[in-house]
């Protein structure tokens, strides 16, 4: 992967890599991709993906929750670890639309 | 004008907030207007270790919508993660549906300037809403300008409804949006409150030379929350694109926002341009299986749709197009009329329709109420209609009774039975139909108004009305009008 | 009294007989923990909260309301969120995070559940990504048999704590071997149940379709007790299976077939040939084969089977797990909780810096790979392809189970390696996972029991893989082995191995 691709990948991943790291990471990713390249050569025609392992043996259906309000106001506890907050709002650097 | 060489192509994506008690994936409330983050529970905040569980009513609402538009309801649909970073998106992904949505196809009929058209829908799917960024002047730790994030809205259930790109004018788009708006409220899945953000439209707009098969490059205009803005934005955008192309430019595929103050669309700072959402099935949720039983159960409890009712009433009772439309303007009005129909005979249906589109509609408008909130219930209207029909009261007196009971009902509750008769008794409002009594009143009025009599006899028709007026006044409005007319004419011709 | 050598049942009996109180027992372990910090097994200890829970347990015992686990101490892997202890997942990203709720597993075992006493949160590889516990932001957990060697991972801290007698039992999680491998490296017993058996609510997510919680202890019997307490449907976890209650202890002590005969008469043990191919170290091969002989002595028959896609499990896992992880870890952005960088000029930079500084190198690698395999143009070739091969792997197991009741083999190609030995090349460590990854992909239950020692004096583990929902049988089989051998009774001391 070239520098541009790595930087784009980093951006999509919400990560920042400095130039030195980029080289190192590029190499490591290269190795991992070589490891997984083997997958391409397997013929999977007619095979359905197995997203949930137990779906192999039984049909799995999403359970439905009854529509009632079951959560109380627990804001104080929920916001115990808020890095920056003000009047019950989480603060972040201004979002420009 | 060069406009006539261009064809406008519009598709609409609408996000309707579903009317449930709790969020689509958690048990927090979705009530509007709460203090910030009071209704954001650990699941909504994406705290470590939290997981989503699906709200059954959200699914039911999706099924209702699918049935109402005659679509296919997918027996299996899958929730997928749409991955991107934004502070109002706590998990860093939105749970939505991608390859396998819950509703496929369907159509909605519109009418623009007398021309009917069917708008084809591509699909509708369930997803969660994001939170809100408040851009007031907050200040961060280092003094930097900051936005405040409120996640009360995060996790509110949404139904995203997508049309095929089949609309050809802003007018068609608005007509569709209005029909859709009325429909989702009618079937009870959305409160349609556009100010509160319950119903938001995105418009995909492109232009192409007439006759060209390929679509032009489209721009998406996001978050239009009024029909007026929808229309203005589309019109501006169409103009913008045409001018751009005619000037030799190329339309860039992008997301734009509408600025209602400047009445123009502008490019959105790329939050979503060229985004790779990396959709994949959400491993925390299982496939949603909707069975025929579930669908039939919901179908059995669906209200009749406005078009069905209109057809029915026009065929069965001969109601006019106009009356039928008025009566199906809202579910509240239609329900009221349906109840009224159970209380009256067929020969009172047309008068009933008239009373609803006349007295009832004005009173409701004046007071800003829905039919379901009217102090006069169908049973009261039925009583009034019956008393008009059997001659006990005149139409004029009926109006007074209506107004009086409305006022009384507004300040307190009205009894159901006999309250109309009680009022008639109380105020002595019975119509005077006794010939002798009427003659007596007329005789007195003729005596008291010799000038009018003279004027009538010398040919002034107006004087007749004035005499009628005096007679009605003398009888406190209770004299049977048709009898007054008849008897007065007789007496004057002598 | 060496309380740390006692089984859970022995501890429970001692508590009922008032030989010791829960408070005293808790203090005993807290004392040992304080004296053994060099192993770095624990990340957070809060003595006050532990003693509070112990007092509550003592009251329950006094009222005669004790269950089989009441008052017994337990250590929780730091991947489970807890209200009273920090929950960091061994990451700088969560160094100051305080959870407002307890994980389901913690609830079920705690004061309002089985009445156990939490001793603290144990060390692990950051966000459960790793096979050596060297990826912790708070230092590696060290193997108590020889502290120059890794403990294994990702549930290293829990394995160390049990092996060094710093807790009678512990919880762990297993996504690709993270219970089994550290159990093997530290000479203890650990089991990963069938996917969906134990609620993931409150388990900091790594790879959603692979993660599963399980007990790590000194014996199969002890593990069974914990598994009984933590398994069952949780409506807050949509992937939690709606099965009726299972009794994991129910078959322990019973013969496999005919009473009066050999205890494991008629048991068919499938031995996958791919687990004994090149790459398996001689010592491990020998120990495992000795163990299989022991099973044969107990009446079982070993049958050769094949799991042809065993090697492919590595690329499949290292596509799927990072993919799910890359998405699961997107919530760590410094907005609502967690590490926020000190310097940033705008929103994007705040995100990128907080995450880059908060996450360790391995976590970042896996996020990047995960993002890659899900991205436009690569999804079909990598992610979807991996999910298809996953089905083939799962079907291979089903084919094997038509010929046998359980599968057995090594847990890892070698015993513990030296700290730092494999840190240079991540891929080198990935290859060590070869035997443990497939059961996670297939969702099958799998466990590890001690079956030997290496020349270096480091434990070697035997892996038992069962068909779906057969944990009770696996524990039965493991217990028979443990009744007839003493590997699981070995414990490390400073002066060598002691029985």
Task: Find the helix or strand (DSSP H, E) in which B314 lies.
Answer: helix B306-317
Query: Structure pTM?
Result: 0.92
Please give the average per-residue pLDDT across B306-335, as a whole number: 92
Check residue B482 and give its pLDDT: 86
Residue C319, burial from CB neighbour count under 10 angstroms (0-12, 13-18, 19+): buried
Residue A53 lies in a domain: no
Phi, psi torsion values for C312, nearest 5 degrees: -65, -20
Q: Could you tell me whether strands A89-93 and B145-150 are parallel, antiparallel, or unpaired per DSSP bridges?
A: antiparallel
Query: For the ranges B48-62, B457-471, C159-173, C210-224, which has the lowest average pLDDT?
Result: B457-471
Determine the residue among B45, B138, B157 to mutate to test chain A binding: the one whose Cβ has the most chain A Cβ atoms within 10 Å: B138
Rounded CA gap, B395 and B386, in Å?
A: 11
Max CA separation in chain A (angstroms): 58
User: Does C317 contact chain A (CB < 8 Å)?
Assistant: no
**Domain end call among B374, B406, B427:** B427
B106: left (phi over 0), alpha (psi -120 to 50) or beta: left
Chain C residue with CA closest to A48: the answer is C388
pLDDT greater at residue B157 or residue B322: B157
Query: Residues of B with CB below 8 A from C336's CB?
Result: 45-47, 90, 149, 151
User: C496 falls in which pLDDT band (50, 70, 90)?
Assistant: very low
**For residue C45, how many C-alpha atoms fall within 13 Å in the half-sphere facing its CB?**
21
User: Does C98 contact chain A (CB < 8 Å)?
Assistant: yes
Check residue C158 and give its pLDDT: 98
Check residue B271 and give its pLDDT: 47
Rounded CA gap, B126 and B102, in Å?
A: 7
Rounded CA gap, B340 and B413, in Å?
A: 19
Chain A residue with CA closest to C340: the answer is A83
User: Does A5 contact chain C (CB < 8 Å)?
Assistant: no
Check residue B477 and give its pLDDT: 82
Nearest CB among C241, C335, C386 relative to A54 is that of C241
Tell me how close the Cα of A17 comes to any Cα of chain B, in angstroms.
Answer: 17
Rounded CA gap, C32 and C2, in Å?
A: 11
Chains with 3+ CB–CB pairs under 8 A to B are A, C
Work out how many domains chain A is built from and give that number.
Answer: 1
User: B1 falls in which pLDDT band (50, 70, 90)?
Assistant: very low
Residue A12 lies in a domain: yes
Rounded CA gap, B211 and B214, in Å?
A: 9
DSSP B432: B
Smallest CA-to-CA distance from B94 within B44, B37, B21 is with: B44
Residue contact B286–A61, C-beta within 8 A: yes
Token pair 């003592």 in the structure block, residue: C58
Rounded CA gap, C147 and A49, in Å?
A: 43
User: Does C355 contact chain A (CB < 8 Å)?
Assistant: yes
Chain B residue with CA closest to A51: the answer is B283
Residue C175 contacts residue C79 (beta carbons within 8 Å): no
Nearest CB among C205, C238, C374 relative to B49 is that of C205
Query: Residues of A with CB below 8 A from C316's CB?
Result: 39
According to the per-residue pLDDT averaged within each range, which of A32-36, B461-465, C488-492 is highest?
C488-492
Q: Which residues pair with B96 in a beta bridge?
A: B80
User: C40 falls in which pLDDT band (50, 70, 90)?
Assistant: very high
User: Does A80 contact chain C (CB < 8 Å)?
Assistant: yes
Tell me how close the Cα of B237 comes to any Cα of chain A, in angstroms.
Answer: 19
pLDDT tens for residues B370-394? 999 999 999 999 999 999 998 888 8
Q: Which residues pair with C270 in a beta bridge?
A: C303, C407
Mention every residue, 6+ apart, whose C-beta is less than 8 A from residue A32.
C318, C365, C369, C426, C427, C430
C266: left (phi over 0), alpha (psi -120 to 50) or beta: left
- Is the pLDDT assigned to residue C499 strictly greater than 60? no
Query: Residues of A with CB below 8 A from B27's CB?
Result: 65, 68-71
The CATH number covering residue A1 comes to 1.10.20
Query: Residues of C with CB below 8 A from A37's CB?
Result: 315
Q: Assign a CATH topology to domain C3-258+409-498.
A: Amidase signature (AS) enzymes (3.90.1300)
B258: left (phi over 0), alpha (psi -120 to 50) or beta: beta
Rounded CA gap, B167 and B28, in Å?
A: 38
Long-range CB pairs of B98-102, under 8 A, 24+ apart, other chains included: B98/B279, B99/B279, B100/B74, B100/B76, B101/B74, B101/B77, B101/B125, B101/B126, B102/B59, B102/B62, B102/B63, B102/B66, B102/B73, B102/B74, B102/B77, B102/B126, B102/B288, B102/B290
Chain C residue with CA closest to A78: the answer is C100
**Domain end call among B408, B427, B446:** B427
> Would you tell me which residues 28-57 of chain A have a C-beta closer than 8 angstroms to some C-beta of chain C?
28-29, 31-33, 35-40, 42, 44, 47-54, 56-57
Rounded CA gap, B32 and B78, in Å?
A: 29
Query: For the ranges A19-33, A57-71, B41-55, which has the lowest average pLDDT?
Result: A19-33
Check residue B412 and give its pLDDT: 83
Residue contact C101–B42, C-beta within 8 A: yes
Tell me how close the Cα of C255 comes to any Cα of chain A, in angstroms.
Answer: 28
Task: Find the helix or strand (DSSP H, E) in which A8 lies.
Answer: helix A3-12
Residue C268, burial from CB neighbour count under 10 angstroms (0-12, 13-18, 19+): middle
According to the per-residue pLDDT averaged within each range, which of B220-234, B433-447, C112-126 is highest?
C112-126
Smallest CA-to-CA distance from A17 within A34, A29, A33 is with: A29
Residues of B with CB under 8 A from a CB of C: 42, 45-54, 81, 83, 85, 87, 90-93, 149, 151, 276, 278-280, 283-286
Chain A residue with CA closest to C322: the answer is A32
Query: Residues of A with CB below 8 A from B268's CB?
Result: 97
Residues spanned by the domain of B455: 435-492
Check residue A97 and give its pLDDT: 60
User: Does A51 contact chain B (CB < 8 Å)?
Assistant: yes
Query: Residues of C with CB below 8 A from B36's CB?
Result: none
Residue B391 contacts residue B431 (beta carbons within 8 Å): yes
Give me C144's structure tokens. Answer: 């108590």
Rounded CA gap, C150 and C128, in Å?
A: 15
Tell me how close the Cα of C209 comes to any Cα of chain B, in angstroms.
Answer: 6
Residue contact A94–B276, C-beta within 8 A: no
Show which residues of C are catalytic.
77, 154, 178
Tell me how close the Cα of A21 comes to any Cα of chain B, in angstroms.
Answer: 23
Specify whether B174 is located in the same domain as B264.
yes
DSSP C54: H
Mention every residue, 6+ apart, whose C-beta is less than 8 A from residue C273.
C304, C305, C306
Nearest CB among C80, C87, C238 relative to B286 is that of C238
pLDDT tens for residues B73-124? 999 999 999 999 999 999 999 999 999 999 999 999 999 998 999 999 999 9
Residue B279 contacts residue B80 (beta carbons within 8 Å): yes
pLDDT tens for residues C189-247? 999 999 999 999 999 999 999 999 999 999 999 999 999 999 999 999 999 998 877 89
Chain C residue with CA closest to A81: the answer is C337
User: B273 falls in which pLDDT band (50, 70, 90)?
Assistant: low
Q: Taking the CA atoms of chain A, what radius of gyration do you get in angstroms?
A: 23
Check residue B274 and give its pLDDT: 65
**Domain end call among B272, B295, B318:** B295
- Is the pLDDT assigned to residue A95 strictly greater than 80? no
Mention every residue, 6+ apart, whose C-beta is less than 8 A from residue A46.
none
Check residue C498 and give its pLDDT: 35
Specify whether B264 is located in the same domain as B367.
no
Residue contact C383–B46, C-beta within 8 A: no
Check residue A50 and give its pLDDT: 98
Nearest CB among A25, A44, A92 relative to C335 is that of A92
Determine the residue among B19, B43, B148, B278 to mutate to test chain A binding: the one whose Cβ has the most chain A Cβ atoms within 10 Å: B148
> Would you tell me which residues 203-262 of chain C have a C-beta closer than 8 angstroms to some C-beta of chain A?
209, 235, 238-239, 241-242
- DSSP calls for B185-227: HHTTS----TTTTSEEEEEEEEEEETT--SPPP-EEEEEE-SH
Residue A87 lies in a domain: no
Q: How far apart are the first and last CA of chain A?
A: 32
DSSP A54: G
Residue C63, burial from CB neighbour count under 10 angstroms (0-12, 13-18, 19+): exposed
Residue contact C337–B85, C-beta within 8 A: no
Residues spanned by the domain of A4: 1-38
User: Does A53 contact chain B (CB < 8 Å)?
Assistant: no
Residue contact C367–A13, C-beta within 8 A: yes
pLDDT tens for residues B196-252? 999 999 999 999 999 999 999 999 999 888 999 999 999 999 999 999 999 999 999
Check residue B139 and give its pLDDT: 85
Instruction: List the Cα angle C300/C304/C310 in 5-degree steps.
Output: 120
Specify whether B277 is located in the same domain as B331.
no
Residue contact A92–B56, C-beta within 8 A: no
Rounded CA gap, C10 and B422, in Å?
A: 86
Specify whether B136 is located in the same domain as B284.
yes
Chains with 3+ CB–CB pairs under 8 A to A are B, C
Nearest CB among C87, C101, C237 relative to B51 is that of C237
Rounded CA gap, B138 and B147, in Å?
A: 6
Work out how many domains chain B is built from and give that number.
Answer: 3
Residue C497 contacts residue C490 (beta carbons within 8 Å): yes
Check residue B270 and give its pLDDT: 56
Q: What is the mean pLDDT of chain B?
A: 92
How would you list the strands of the sheet with B93-97, edge to edge?
B93-97, B79-83, B280-281
User: Does C194 contact chain A (CB < 8 Å)?
Assistant: yes
pLDDT tens for residues C345-387? 899 999 999 999 999 999 999 999 999 999 999 999 999 999 9
Residue contact B148–A75, C-beta within 8 A: no
Check residue C495 and give its pLDDT: 37
3-state secondary structure of C420: coil
Residue A86 lies in a domain: no
- Is the pLDDT assigned to residue C1 strictly greater than 50? yes
Residue A66 lies in a domain: no
User: Does A39 contact chain B (CB < 8 Å)?
Assistant: no
DSSP C490: -
Query: Residues of C with CB below 8 A from B151's CB?
Result: 336
**Domain boundaries, given as residue ranges, for chain C:** 3-258+409-498
> Would you tell me which residues 121-140 of chain C have a C-beta closer than 8 angstroms to some C-beta of chain A?
none
Chains with 3+ CB–CB pairs under 8 A to C are A, B
Query: Residues of C with CB below 8 A from B54's CB?
Result: 238
């Amino acid at each position: 992967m070239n520098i541009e691709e790595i930087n784009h990948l980093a951006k999509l991943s919400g990560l920042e890599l400095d130039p030195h790291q980029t080289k190192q990471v590029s190499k490591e990713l290269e190795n991992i991709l070589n490891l997984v390249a083997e997958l391409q050569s397997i013929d999977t025609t007619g095979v359905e993906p197995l997203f949930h392992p137990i779906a192999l043996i039984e049909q799995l259906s999403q359970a439905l929750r009854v529509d009632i309000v079951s959560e109380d106001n627990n804001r104080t506890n929920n916001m115990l670890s808020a890095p920056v907050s003000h009047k019950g709002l989480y603060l972040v650097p201004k979002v420009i639309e | 004008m060069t406009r006539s060489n261009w064809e406008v192509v519009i598709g609409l994506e609408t996000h309707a907030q579903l009317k449930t008690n709790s969020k689509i994936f958690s048990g927090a409330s979705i009530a509007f207007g709460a203090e910030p983050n009071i209704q954001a529970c650990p699941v909504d905040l994406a705290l470590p270790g939290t997981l989503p569980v699906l709200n059954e009513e959200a699914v039911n609402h999706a099924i209702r919508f699918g049935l109402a538009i005659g679509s296919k309801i997918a027996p299996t649909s899958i929730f997928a993660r749409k991955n991107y970073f934004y502070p109002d998106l706590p998990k860093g992904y939105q749970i939505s549906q991608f390859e396998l949505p819950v509703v496929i196809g369907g159509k909605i009929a519109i009418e623009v300037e007398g021309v009917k058209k069917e708008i084809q829908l591509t699909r509708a799917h369930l997803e969660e809403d994001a939170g809100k960024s408040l851009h007031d002047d907050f200040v961060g730790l280092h003094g930097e300008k900051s936005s405040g994030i409120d996640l009360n809205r995060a996790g509110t259930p949404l139904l995203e409804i997508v049309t095929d790109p089949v609309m050809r004018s802003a007018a068609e788009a608005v007509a569709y949006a209005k029909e859709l708006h009325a429909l989702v409220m009618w079937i009870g899945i959305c409160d349609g409150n556009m100010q509160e953000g319950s119903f938001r439209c995105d418009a995909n707009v492109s232009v192409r030379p007439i006759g060209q098969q390929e679509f032009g490059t489209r721009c998406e205009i996001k978050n239009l929350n009024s029909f007026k803005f929808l229309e203005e934005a589309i019109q501006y955008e169409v103009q913008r694109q045409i001018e751009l192309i005619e000037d030799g430019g190329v339309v860039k595929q992008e997301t734009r926002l509408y600025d209602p103050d400047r009445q123009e669309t502008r490019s959105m700072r790329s939050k979503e341009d060229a985004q790779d959402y990396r959709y994949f099935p959400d491993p925390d949720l299982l496939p949603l299986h909707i069975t025929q039983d579930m669908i039939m159960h919901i179908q059995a409890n669906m209200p009749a749709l406005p078009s069905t009712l209109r057809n029915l009433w026009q065929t069965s009772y001969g109601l006019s197009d106009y009356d039928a439309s008025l009566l199906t303007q809202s579910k509240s009005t239609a329900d009221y009329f349906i109840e009224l129909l159970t209380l009256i005979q067929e020969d009172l249906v047309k008068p009933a329709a008239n009373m609803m589109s006349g007295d009832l509609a004005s009173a409701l408008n004046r007071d800003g109420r829905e039919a379901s909130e009217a102090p006069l219930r169908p049973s009261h209207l039925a009583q009034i209609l019956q008393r008009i029909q059997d001659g006990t009261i005149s139409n004029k007196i009926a109006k007074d009774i209506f107004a009086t009971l409305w006022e009384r009902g507004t300040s307190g509750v009205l009894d159901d039975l006999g309250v109309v008769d009680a009022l008639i008794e109380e105020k002595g409002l019975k119509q005077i139909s006794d010939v002798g009594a009427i003659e007596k009143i007329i005789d007195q009025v003729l005596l008291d108004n010799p000038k009018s009599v003279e004027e009538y006899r010398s040919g002034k028709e107006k004087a007749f009305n004035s005499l009628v007026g005096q007679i009605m006044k003398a009888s406190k409005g209770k004299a049977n009008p048709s009898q007054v007319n008849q008897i007065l004419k007789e007496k004057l011709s002598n | 009294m060496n309380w740390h050598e006692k089984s859970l049942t022995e501890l429970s009996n001692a508590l009922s007989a008032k030989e010791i109180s829960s408070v005293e027992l808790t203090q005993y372990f807290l004392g040992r923990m304080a004296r053994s910090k060099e192993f770095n097994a624990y990340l957070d200890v809060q003595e006050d909260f532990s003693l509070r829970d112990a007092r509550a347990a003592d009251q329950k015992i006094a009222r005669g309301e004790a269950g089989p686990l009441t008052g017994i101490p337990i250590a929780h892997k730091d991947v489970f969120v807890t209200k009273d202890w920090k929950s960091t997942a061994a990451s700088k990203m969560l160094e100051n995070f305080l959870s407002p709720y307890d994980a389901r597993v913690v609830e079920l075992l705690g004061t309002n559940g089985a009445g156990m006493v939490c001793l603290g949160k144990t060390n692990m590889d950051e966000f459960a990504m790793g096979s050596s516990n060297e990826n912790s932001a708070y230092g590696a957990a060290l193997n108590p048999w020889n502290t120059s060697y890794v403990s294994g991972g990702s549930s290293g801290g829990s394995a160390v704590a049990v092996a060094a007698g710093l807790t009678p039992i512990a919880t762990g999680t297993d996504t690709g071997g993270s219970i089994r491998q550290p159990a093997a490296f530290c000479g203890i017993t650990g089991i990963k149940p069938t996917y969906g058996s134990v609620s993931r609510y409150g388990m900091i997510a790594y790879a959603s379709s692979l993660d599963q919680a399980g007990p790590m202890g000194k014996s199969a019997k002890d593990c069974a007790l914990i598994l009984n307490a933590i398994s069952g449907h949780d409506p807050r976890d949509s992937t939690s299976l709606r099965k009726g209650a299972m009794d994991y202890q129910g078959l322990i002590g019973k013969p496999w077939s005919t009473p009066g005969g050999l205890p494991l008469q008629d048991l068919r043990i499938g031995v996958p040939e791919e687990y004994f191919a090149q790459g398996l170290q001689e010592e491990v091969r020998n120990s495992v084969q000795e163990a299989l002989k022991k099973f044969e002595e107990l009446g079982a028959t070993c049958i050769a089977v094949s799991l042809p896609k065993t090697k492919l499990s590595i690329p499949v896992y290292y596509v799927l797990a990072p993919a799910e992880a890359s998405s699961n870890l997107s919530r760590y952005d410094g907005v609502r909780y967690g590490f926020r960088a000190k310097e940033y000029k705008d929103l994007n930079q705040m995100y990128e810096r907080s995450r880059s500084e908060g996450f360790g190198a391995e976590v970042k690698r896996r996020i990047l790979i995960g993002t890659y395999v899900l991205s436009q143009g690569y999804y079909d070739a990598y992610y979807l392809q991996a999910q298809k091969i996953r089905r083939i792997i799962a079907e291979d197991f089903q084919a094997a189970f038509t010929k046998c009741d359980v599968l057995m083999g090594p847990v890892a190609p070698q015993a513990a390696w030296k700290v730092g030995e494999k840190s240079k090349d991540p891929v080198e460590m990935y290859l060590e996972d070869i035997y443990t990854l497939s059961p996670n992909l297939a969702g099958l239950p799998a466990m590890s029991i001690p079956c030997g020692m290496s020349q270096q004096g480091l434990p070697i583990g035997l892996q038992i893989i069962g068909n779906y929902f057969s944990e009770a049988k696996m524990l039965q089989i493991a217990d028979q082995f443990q009744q007839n051998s003493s590997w699981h009774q070995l414990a490390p001391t400073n002066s060598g191995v002691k029985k």
